[in-house]
Amino acid sequence: MGIVTDRRPTPEQLLQQLESEEEYQTHGRLKIFLGYASGVGKSFRMLDEGRRRAERGQDVVVGAIQPKLSREILKTISHLEVIPLKDVNGIQVMDMPTILRRAPKVCLVDGLAYDNPPGSVHEKRWQDVAQLLEAGISVITSVNLQHIEEERAKVQRITGKRVDQVVPLSFLQTADEIVVVDAPPEACLSATDDCPGSAQRLTQLQLSELREIALLLAADVIDKQLERYLARHGIEQTWGTQERILVYITPQSDYQRMVETGVRNRDRFHGELIAAHIDHPEWSAEERKRIGEGLQLARQQGAEIAEIDGVDPVDAILHFARHRGITQIFVGHKGRDSWWERAFGSDLDRLIRSADGIDVRVFPHSR
Protein backbone atom coordinates (compact mmCIF):
# COMPACT_ATOMS: atom_id res chain seq x y z
CA MET A 1 0.00 0.00 0.00
CA GLY A 2 1.30 3.47 -0.86
CA ILE A 3 2.10 6.02 1.80
CA VAL A 4 -0.57 8.69 2.25
CA THR A 5 0.87 12.12 3.01
CA ASP A 6 -1.22 14.68 4.89
CA ARG A 7 -0.78 17.87 2.81
CA ARG A 8 -3.15 20.00 4.86
CA PRO A 9 -1.51 23.24 6.09
CA THR A 10 -0.48 23.39 9.73
CA PRO A 11 -2.12 25.97 12.05
CA GLU A 12 1.08 28.03 11.87
CA GLN A 13 0.97 28.00 8.04
CA LEU A 14 -2.72 29.01 8.05
CA LEU A 15 -1.98 31.91 10.41
CA GLN A 16 0.89 33.06 8.21
CA GLN A 17 -1.36 32.95 5.13
CA LEU A 18 -4.07 34.96 6.89
CA GLU A 19 -1.58 37.58 8.07
CA SER A 20 -0.04 37.82 4.60
CA GLU A 21 -3.46 38.24 2.97
CA GLU A 22 -4.50 40.88 5.51
CA GLU A 23 -1.30 42.85 4.90
CA TYR A 24 -1.86 42.60 1.14
CA GLN A 25 -5.42 43.94 1.41
CA THR A 26 -4.43 46.95 3.54
CA HIS A 27 -1.27 47.79 1.59
CA GLY A 28 -1.23 50.14 -1.40
CA ARG A 29 -0.49 48.71 -4.85
CA LEU A 30 2.73 49.64 -6.64
CA LYS A 31 2.92 49.99 -10.42
CA ILE A 32 6.21 50.92 -12.09
CA PHE A 33 6.84 52.20 -15.61
CA LEU A 34 10.41 51.20 -16.47
CA GLY A 35 12.28 52.99 -19.24
CA TYR A 36 15.31 51.31 -20.77
CA ALA A 37 16.75 54.68 -21.81
CA SER A 38 16.07 58.31 -20.97
CA GLY A 39 13.38 59.79 -23.19
CA VAL A 40 11.41 56.69 -24.16
CA GLY A 41 8.23 58.20 -22.69
CA LYS A 42 7.87 56.56 -19.27
CA SER A 43 6.75 59.76 -17.50
CA PHE A 44 4.04 60.40 -20.07
CA ARG A 45 2.79 56.79 -19.81
CA MET A 46 2.63 57.10 -16.01
CA LEU A 47 0.73 60.40 -16.09
CA ASP A 48 -1.58 59.26 -18.88
CA GLU A 49 -2.58 56.22 -16.85
CA GLY A 50 -3.33 58.53 -13.92
CA ARG A 51 -5.49 60.69 -16.19
CA ARG A 52 -7.44 57.68 -17.43
CA ARG A 53 -7.98 56.40 -13.88
CA ALA A 54 -9.22 59.82 -12.78
CA GLU A 55 -11.66 59.87 -15.70
CA ARG A 56 -12.99 56.51 -14.47
CA GLY A 57 -13.69 58.05 -11.06
CA GLN A 58 -10.60 57.06 -9.06
CA ASP A 59 -9.18 59.61 -6.61
CA VAL A 60 -5.78 60.43 -8.18
CA VAL A 61 -3.20 63.08 -7.27
CA VAL A 62 0.24 63.94 -8.66
CA GLY A 63 2.77 63.80 -5.83
CA ALA A 64 5.97 64.44 -7.78
CA ILE A 65 6.73 65.53 -11.32
CA GLN A 66 9.85 66.53 -13.25
CA PRO A 67 10.64 70.28 -13.36
CA LYS A 68 10.81 70.51 -17.18
CA LEU A 69 7.64 69.32 -18.88
CA SER A 70 6.67 68.95 -22.53
CA ARG A 71 3.45 70.46 -23.88
CA GLU A 72 1.95 66.96 -24.06
CA ILE A 73 2.67 66.27 -20.38
CA LEU A 74 1.41 69.71 -19.32
CA LYS A 75 -1.83 68.98 -21.16
CA THR A 76 -2.13 65.61 -19.41
CA ILE A 77 -1.59 66.91 -15.86
CA SER A 78 -3.99 69.81 -16.42
CA HIS A 79 -6.75 67.26 -15.76
CA LEU A 80 -5.20 66.11 -12.47
CA GLU A 81 -4.83 67.46 -8.95
CA VAL A 82 -1.18 68.30 -8.34
CA ILE A 83 0.27 68.52 -4.84
CA PRO A 84 3.21 70.91 -5.30
CA LEU A 85 6.70 69.84 -4.34
CA LYS A 86 8.32 71.57 -1.37
CA ASP A 87 11.64 73.40 -1.68
CA VAL A 88 14.09 72.29 1.02
CA ASN A 89 17.49 73.95 0.74
CA GLY A 90 17.09 74.26 -3.00
CA ILE A 91 15.99 70.63 -3.48
CA GLN A 92 12.46 69.74 -4.58
CA VAL A 93 10.89 67.07 -2.34
CA MET A 94 7.49 65.44 -2.04
CA ASP A 95 5.10 67.07 0.42
CA MET A 96 4.56 63.87 2.36
CA PRO A 97 2.44 65.33 5.22
CA THR A 98 0.00 66.87 2.75
CA ILE A 99 -0.25 63.67 0.67
CA LEU A 100 -0.80 61.52 3.75
CA ARG A 101 -3.50 63.89 5.07
CA ARG A 102 -5.13 64.03 1.65
CA ALA A 103 -5.04 60.19 1.50
CA PRO A 104 -5.83 59.75 -2.20
CA LYS A 105 -6.55 56.37 -3.70
CA VAL A 106 -3.62 56.73 -6.14
CA CYS A 107 -0.53 58.95 -6.08
CA LEU A 108 1.64 59.52 -9.17
CA VAL A 109 5.36 59.84 -8.42
CA ASP A 110 7.95 60.68 -11.05
CA GLY A 111 11.70 60.53 -10.41
CA LEU A 112 11.65 57.48 -8.13
CA ALA A 113 15.45 57.49 -7.74
CA TYR A 114 15.77 61.09 -6.52
CA ASP A 115 17.60 61.79 -3.26
CA ASN A 116 16.01 63.83 -0.50
CA PRO A 117 18.01 66.60 1.21
CA PRO A 118 19.90 65.91 4.46
CA GLY A 119 17.65 65.92 7.50
CA SER A 120 14.63 64.48 5.68
CA VAL A 121 12.65 61.66 7.24
CA HIS A 122 13.74 59.44 4.36
CA GLU A 123 17.03 59.61 2.47
CA LYS A 124 15.47 58.52 -0.86
CA ARG A 125 12.24 59.24 -2.71
CA TRP A 126 11.60 55.52 -3.16
CA GLN A 127 11.45 55.30 0.66
CA ASP A 128 8.77 58.02 0.62
CA VAL A 129 6.86 55.81 -1.81
CA ALA A 130 7.24 52.84 0.54
CA GLN A 131 5.63 54.92 3.31
CA LEU A 132 2.70 55.84 1.05
CA LEU A 133 2.17 52.17 0.24
CA GLU A 134 2.20 51.24 3.93
CA ALA A 135 -0.45 53.92 4.49
CA GLY A 136 -2.70 52.16 1.96
CA ILE A 137 -2.10 54.64 -0.88
CA SER A 138 -1.42 53.03 -4.24
CA VAL A 139 1.48 54.50 -6.20
CA ILE A 140 2.19 54.66 -9.93
CA THR A 141 5.80 55.65 -10.53
CA SER A 142 8.54 55.69 -13.16
CA VAL A 143 12.26 54.99 -13.26
CA ASN A 144 15.02 54.51 -15.82
CA LEU A 145 17.05 51.31 -16.05
CA GLN A 146 20.30 53.18 -15.33
CA HIS A 147 18.94 54.12 -11.89
CA ILE A 148 18.49 50.49 -10.77
CA GLU A 149 21.37 49.91 -8.38
CA GLU A 150 22.19 46.36 -9.48
CA GLU A 151 22.02 47.28 -13.20
CA ARG A 152 23.96 50.55 -12.99
CA ALA A 153 27.38 49.08 -13.87
CA LYS A 154 26.00 47.19 -16.90
CA VAL A 155 24.25 50.30 -18.22
CA GLN A 156 27.38 52.37 -17.66
CA ARG A 157 29.45 49.93 -19.73
CA ILE A 158 26.94 50.27 -22.57
CA THR A 159 26.31 54.03 -22.46
CA GLY A 160 29.44 55.39 -20.79
CA LYS A 161 27.24 57.38 -18.43
CA ARG A 162 27.23 56.94 -14.65
CA VAL A 163 24.45 58.03 -12.29
CA ASP A 164 24.60 58.48 -8.53
CA GLN A 165 20.91 58.32 -7.60
CA VAL A 166 19.66 54.72 -7.51
CA VAL A 167 16.81 52.47 -6.42
CA PRO A 168 17.56 48.95 -5.10
CA LEU A 169 16.26 46.07 -7.19
CA SER A 170 14.66 44.66 -4.06
CA PHE A 171 12.21 47.58 -4.05
CA LEU A 172 11.22 46.99 -7.68
CA GLN A 173 10.63 43.36 -6.83
CA THR A 174 7.86 44.41 -4.44
CA ALA A 175 5.87 45.89 -7.36
CA ASP A 176 2.42 44.53 -8.10
CA GLU A 177 2.85 45.47 -11.75
CA ILE A 178 5.79 46.55 -13.92
CA VAL A 179 5.58 47.88 -17.46
CA VAL A 180 8.61 48.27 -19.75
CA VAL A 181 8.00 51.34 -21.89
CA ASP A 182 8.91 49.41 -24.99
CA ALA A 183 9.56 51.96 -27.71
CA PRO A 184 11.37 49.99 -30.44
CA PRO A 185 15.10 50.80 -30.70
CA GLU A 186 14.56 51.82 -34.33
CA ALA A 187 12.09 54.51 -33.24
CA CYS A 188 14.61 55.90 -30.78
CA LEU A 189 17.12 56.48 -33.58
CA SER A 190 14.79 58.95 -35.28
CA ALA A 191 14.28 62.51 -34.11
CA THR A 192 10.59 62.01 -33.43
CA ASP A 193 8.26 62.43 -30.50
CA ASP A 194 8.29 58.64 -30.02
CA CYS A 195 11.61 58.74 -28.29
CA PRO A 196 13.02 62.21 -27.59
CA GLY A 197 15.96 62.98 -25.36
CA SER A 198 19.19 61.09 -24.74
CA ALA A 199 17.93 57.85 -26.32
CA GLN A 200 18.55 59.45 -29.72
CA ARG A 201 22.27 59.67 -28.93
CA LEU A 202 22.64 55.89 -28.54
CA THR A 203 23.19 53.36 -31.33
CA GLN A 204 20.64 50.69 -32.20
CA LEU A 205 22.97 48.06 -30.72
CA GLN A 206 23.19 49.96 -27.43
CA LEU A 207 19.43 50.47 -27.29
CA SER A 208 18.81 46.79 -28.03
CA GLU A 209 21.15 45.75 -25.21
CA LEU A 210 19.45 48.11 -22.77
CA ARG A 211 16.01 46.92 -23.85
CA GLU A 212 17.01 43.29 -23.29
CA ILE A 213 18.24 44.05 -19.75
CA ALA A 214 14.99 45.87 -18.97
CA LEU A 215 12.83 43.02 -20.27
CA LEU A 216 14.77 40.45 -18.23
CA LEU A 217 14.49 42.64 -15.13
CA ALA A 218 10.74 42.99 -15.65
CA ALA A 219 10.40 39.23 -16.04
CA ASP A 220 12.26 38.78 -12.74
CA VAL A 221 9.82 41.16 -11.02
CA ILE A 222 6.91 39.15 -12.43
CA ASP A 223 8.47 35.99 -11.00
CA LYS A 224 8.54 37.66 -7.57
CA GLN A 225 4.86 38.59 -7.97
CA LEU A 226 4.06 34.94 -8.62
CA GLU A 227 6.09 33.81 -5.61
CA ARG A 228 4.19 36.22 -3.34
CA TYR A 229 0.85 35.08 -4.74
CA LEU A 230 1.72 31.42 -4.14
CA ALA A 231 2.92 32.21 -0.62
CA ARG A 232 -0.27 34.12 0.25
CA HIS A 233 -2.42 31.23 -0.90
CA GLY A 234 -0.28 28.47 0.59
CA ILE A 235 0.63 26.99 -2.79
CA GLU A 236 3.97 25.23 -3.00
CA GLN A 237 6.06 25.92 -6.10
CA THR A 238 7.40 22.61 -7.34
CA TRP A 239 8.70 23.31 -10.82
CA GLY A 240 12.14 24.42 -12.01
CA THR A 241 13.40 26.11 -15.13
CA GLN A 242 15.36 24.00 -17.61
CA GLU A 243 16.87 26.66 -19.85
CA ARG A 244 20.16 25.55 -21.44
CA ILE A 245 22.10 28.07 -23.52
CA LEU A 246 24.86 27.17 -25.98
CA VAL A 247 27.28 29.93 -27.00
CA TYR A 248 29.13 28.82 -30.15
CA ILE A 249 32.44 30.68 -30.39
CA THR A 250 34.48 31.22 -33.56
CA PRO A 251 37.49 33.49 -34.15
CA GLN A 252 35.22 36.19 -35.61
CA SER A 253 32.58 36.05 -32.86
CA ASP A 254 31.70 39.03 -30.71
CA TYR A 255 32.25 36.63 -27.83
CA GLN A 256 32.08 39.28 -25.10
CA ARG A 257 28.54 40.32 -26.00
CA MET A 258 27.47 36.71 -26.61
CA VAL A 259 28.78 35.51 -23.25
CA GLU A 260 27.41 38.50 -21.32
CA THR A 261 23.97 37.98 -22.86
CA GLY A 262 24.18 34.26 -22.13
CA VAL A 263 25.06 34.95 -18.50
CA ARG A 264 22.08 37.30 -18.11
CA ASN A 265 19.72 34.72 -19.58
CA ARG A 266 21.21 31.90 -17.50
CA ASP A 267 20.91 33.87 -14.28
CA ARG A 268 17.41 35.10 -15.15
CA PHE A 269 16.10 31.59 -15.87
CA HIS A 270 18.31 29.75 -13.35
CA GLY A 271 19.56 27.62 -16.21
CA GLU A 272 22.84 26.36 -17.65
CA LEU A 273 25.40 28.06 -19.90
CA ILE A 274 27.74 26.14 -22.19
CA ALA A 275 30.44 27.73 -24.37
CA ALA A 276 31.61 25.51 -27.21
CA HIS A 277 33.84 25.58 -30.29
CA ILE A 278 34.94 23.29 -33.11
CA ASP A 279 38.67 22.88 -33.63
CA HIS A 280 39.85 23.54 -37.20
CA PRO A 281 43.48 22.59 -37.98
CA GLU A 282 43.81 25.43 -40.50
CA TRP A 283 43.21 28.15 -37.92
CA SER A 284 46.08 30.60 -37.40
CA ALA A 285 47.70 31.34 -34.06
CA GLU A 286 45.76 34.62 -33.88
CA GLU A 287 42.45 32.83 -34.52
CA ARG A 288 43.20 30.26 -31.84
CA LYS A 289 44.06 33.09 -29.45
CA ARG A 290 40.63 34.65 -30.09
CA ILE A 291 38.92 31.33 -29.39
CA GLY A 292 40.92 30.94 -26.17
CA GLU A 293 39.96 34.45 -25.01
CA GLY A 294 36.29 33.75 -25.58
CA LEU A 295 36.38 30.44 -23.75
CA GLN A 296 38.32 31.97 -20.86
CA LEU A 297 35.72 34.73 -20.47
CA ALA A 298 32.96 32.12 -20.46
CA ARG A 299 34.85 30.01 -17.91
CA GLN A 300 35.25 33.04 -15.62
CA GLN A 301 31.45 33.47 -15.76
CA GLY A 302 30.87 29.91 -14.62
CA ALA A 303 30.05 28.43 -18.03
CA GLU A 304 30.78 24.84 -18.95
CA ILE A 305 33.40 24.58 -21.74
CA ALA A 306 32.99 22.00 -24.50
CA GLU A 307 34.71 21.08 -27.76
CA ILE A 308 32.34 19.87 -30.47
CA ASP A 309 33.50 17.17 -32.88
CA GLY A 310 32.41 17.13 -36.50
CA VAL A 311 33.31 18.12 -40.04
CA ASP A 312 30.07 19.92 -40.84
CA PRO A 313 29.59 22.65 -38.21
CA VAL A 314 25.80 22.80 -38.57
CA ASP A 315 25.33 19.05 -38.09
CA ALA A 316 27.86 19.01 -35.24
CA ILE A 317 26.23 21.90 -33.37
CA LEU A 318 22.73 20.44 -33.73
CA HIS A 319 23.86 16.95 -32.68
CA PHE A 320 25.50 18.41 -29.56
CA ALA A 321 22.49 20.64 -28.83
CA ARG A 322 19.99 17.81 -29.04
CA HIS A 323 22.17 15.51 -26.98
CA ARG A 324 22.47 18.14 -24.20
CA GLY A 325 18.89 19.42 -24.33
CA ILE A 326 19.90 22.92 -25.45
CA THR A 327 17.03 25.43 -25.68
CA GLN A 328 18.94 28.45 -27.09
CA ILE A 329 21.92 28.62 -29.47
CA PHE A 330 23.94 31.84 -29.75
CA VAL A 331 25.93 32.13 -32.99
CA GLY A 332 27.80 34.89 -34.81
CA HIS A 333 27.32 35.89 -38.44
CA LYS A 334 29.08 38.26 -40.81
CA GLY A 335 26.13 38.93 -43.15
CA ARG A 336 25.61 37.87 -46.75
CA ASP A 337 28.83 38.85 -48.52
CA SER A 338 28.82 36.50 -51.49
CA TRP A 339 26.36 36.07 -54.35
CA TRP A 340 26.19 32.35 -53.48
CA GLU A 341 24.91 33.04 -49.95
CA ARG A 342 22.47 35.64 -51.22
CA ALA A 343 21.09 33.19 -53.79
CA PHE A 344 21.21 29.87 -51.94
CA GLY A 345 21.51 30.74 -48.26
CA SER A 346 24.24 30.04 -45.75
CA ASP A 347 25.16 27.67 -42.95
CA LEU A 348 23.25 30.02 -40.66
CA ASP A 349 20.08 29.60 -42.73
CA ARG A 350 20.51 25.84 -42.58
CA LEU A 351 21.06 25.95 -38.81
CA ILE A 352 17.90 28.01 -38.25
CA ARG A 353 15.81 25.79 -40.56
CA SER A 354 17.04 22.60 -38.89
CA ALA A 355 16.96 23.78 -35.26
CA ASP A 356 13.36 22.51 -34.87
CA GLY A 357 12.29 23.85 -31.49
CA ILE A 358 15.64 25.33 -30.46
CA ASP A 359 15.84 29.14 -30.50
CA VAL A 360 18.74 30.47 -32.58
CA ARG A 361 19.98 33.97 -31.74
CA VAL A 362 22.35 35.68 -34.17
CA PHE A 363 25.02 38.20 -33.12
CA PRO A 364 26.90 40.29 -35.73
CA HIS A 365 30.60 39.46 -35.97
CA SER A 366 32.96 41.83 -34.18
CA ARG A 367 35.34 41.92 -37.15
The domain of 325 spans 244-364
User: Do the domain assignments include residue 32?
Assistant: yes
Helix axis angle, 204-232 relative to 11-26, nearest 10°? 130
Q: Of 232, 255, 284, which residue constitutes the final position of a domain?
A: 232
Q: Is 208 found in the same domain as 99? A: yes
> For 3-7, 8-12, 126-130, 205-209, which range has the lowest pLDDT when averaged over its residues?
3-7
State the first-to-last Cα distance of the chain, in angstroms, to the nearest integer: 66
- Whether 5 is covered by a domain: the verdict is no
Q: Is residue 239 part of a domain?
A: no
One domain for residues 223 and 253? no
214 and 272 part of one domain: no
The total domain count for the chain is: 2
Decide the pairing of beta strands 244-248 and 91-93.
unpaired
- Residue 204, pLDDT > 50, answer yes
Query: Does 226 share its domain with 105?
Result: yes
- 227 and 253 inside one domain: no
**What are 259-270's pLDDT values in tens digits?**
999 998 888 777
* Percent of the chain at pLDDT exceeding 70: 81
pLDDT, tens only, 211-255: 888 888 888 788 777 777 776 666 654 444 468 999 999 998 999
Helices (H) and strands (E) in the chain, counts: 14, 13
Question: Of 232, 256, 281, which residue sits at a domain end?
Answer: 232
- Span 80-105, mean pLDDT? 93
Mean pLDDT of 65-81: 80
- Asked if residue 305 and residue 187 are part of one domain, the reply reads no
User: Is residue 18, in this structure, part of any structural domain at all?
Assistant: no
249 and 276 together in one domain: yes
Q: State the pLDDT confidence band at 166, using cuts at 50, 70 and 90.
A: very high
For residue 258, is it within any domain? yes
120 backbone dihedrals φ, ψ, rounded to 5°:
-70, 160
* Per-residue pLDDT reduced to its tens digit, 111-157: 999 999 998 999 999 999 999 999 999 999 999 999 999 899 889 98
| C-alpha distance from residue 95 to each of 19, 141, 338 (Å) | 31, 16, 65
Instruction: Supply the CATH number for residue 340's domain.
Output: 3.40.50.620
The mean pLDDT of the chain is: 82
Q: Report residue 365's pLDDT band, with 50, 70 and 90 as the boundaries.
A: confident
Strand partners, 150: none
DSSP state of 198: G
Flag whether the pTM goes above 0.85.
no
Distance CA 271, CA 94 (A): 42
Number of Cβ within 10 Å of residue 292's Cβ equals 12
pLDDT, tens only, 268-280? 777 899 999 998 8
**AA letter at 272:** E
Question: Is the same domain home to 192 and 266?
Answer: no
Last residue of a domain, one of 232, 267, 291: 232
Give 15's pLDDT tier (boundaries 50, 70, 90). low
CA distance 307 to 348: 19
Whether 49 and 163 map to the same domain: the answer is: yes
112 plus 222 within the same structural domain? yes
Residues 201 and 338 grouped into a single domain: no
In a domain, 228, yes or no: yes
d(CA 177, CA 162): 27
- Same domain, yes or no, for 98 and 171? yes
3-class secondary-structure state, position 87: strand
Residue 23 lies in a domain: no
**In-domain check, residue 200:** yes
Determine the Cα–Cα distance for residues 167 and 156; give it in Å rounded to an integer.
15
